[in-house]
Amino acid sequence: MSDLFSLKDRVVLVTGASRGLGFAMAKAMGEAGGTVVLNGRDAGTLETSAGKLKADGIKAEIAPFDVSDFAAAAKAVADIAKKHGRLDVAVLNAGIQHRRPLLEWENADFQRVIDTNLTACFVLAREAARVMIPRGEGRIIMTGSIMGIVARPTVHAYAAAKAGLGGMSKTLAVELAPKGITVNVICPGFFDTEMNTALTQNPEFNAFVKSRCPLGRWARPEEIGGAAVFLASRAGSYVNGHMLVVDGGLVDNL
């Protein structure tokens, strides 16, 4: 049974893995036996995060680059493939948030969120596929959001990017499946990470999460790990073009 979820001998890139959900997914996939390559923008922070995983016996490496520097992103994927001779799983997770009332939005902020949360996933999926296609197998997993499905005010670019991932992942899924590659999106609900500090410290928003989410609480980062292992492993081999919502039932709760 454990073999079904094994990532032994798999090389896994996780973008945005210095903390939060990316780190939690890298940890879970490392515990499943994968060699995990952690990405973020700061090499020092990544070294610290990789060190925590190594202390747990996980094979962890770092790949510092800014996902919105598309040339750097493409080079990083090529470097991983050159070093390991393969890239089995690409978890495209790095993301940023920008919350403002509509009339305070600058075009540049909209573009920055789209570049990081959507265009970078396109570039990295293409470059991962370039490495995976010759081997005839691979898994691409993107971190979407319930904000691509349901709405709250102020997060216009974020919602556009996450909804965009939903559409783009499906076109990638149907195009790449004949080449042995699956493409899926994990859509988290409200997780207690640094991205949400402003919200977790806001009593009104806390009350909203507690009343709206049937499980009655914020999610802990480690609660995303199982979904990533599932989609990356043999257990998820026939799951393709899917949006896996991990939200404690929040979007279904009227």
Ligand X SMILES: NC(=O)c1ccc[n+]([C@@H]2O[C@H](COP(=O)([O-])OP(=O)(O)OC[C@H]3O[C@@H](n4cnc5c(N)ncnc54)[C@H](OP(=O)(O)O)[C@@H]3O)[C@@H](O)[C@H]2O)c1
Catalytic residues: 158
- One residue of 5, 10, 14, 16 binding ligand X per CB under 6 A: 16
Cα–Cα distance for residue pair 13/65, rounded to 1 Å: 12
Report the chain's terminal Cα–Cα distance, integer Å: 37
Between 33 and 95, whose beta carbon lies closer to ligand X?
95
Of 2-10, 14-22, 122-130, 201-209, the window that binds ligand X (rule: CB under 6 A) is 14-22
Residue 186 corresponds to which tokens in the numbers above?
Answer: 């994990």
188 binding ligand X? (CB under 6 A): yes
CB of 162 to ligand X, least distance (A): 7
Tokens 């899926």, residue? 184
Q: Within 50-69, which residues bind ligand X (CB under 6 A)? A: 66-68
Size of residue set near ligand X by CB under 6 A: 30
Question: Would you state the torsion angle of the CA atoms of residues 138, 143, 147, 149, taken in this order, to the nearest 10 degrees?
Answer: 20
Q: Are 61 and 50 in contact (CB under 8 A)?
A: yes
Between 122 and 135, whose beta carbon lies closer to ligand X?
122
Cα–Cα distance for residue pair 63/76, rounded to 1 Å: 7
93 binding ligand X? (CB under 6 A): yes
Cα–Cα distance for residue pair 90/84, rounded to 1 Å: 14
Given the rule CB under 6 A, which residues bind ligand X? 15-22, 39-42, 45, 66-68, 93-96, 116, 143, 145, 188, 190-191, 193-196
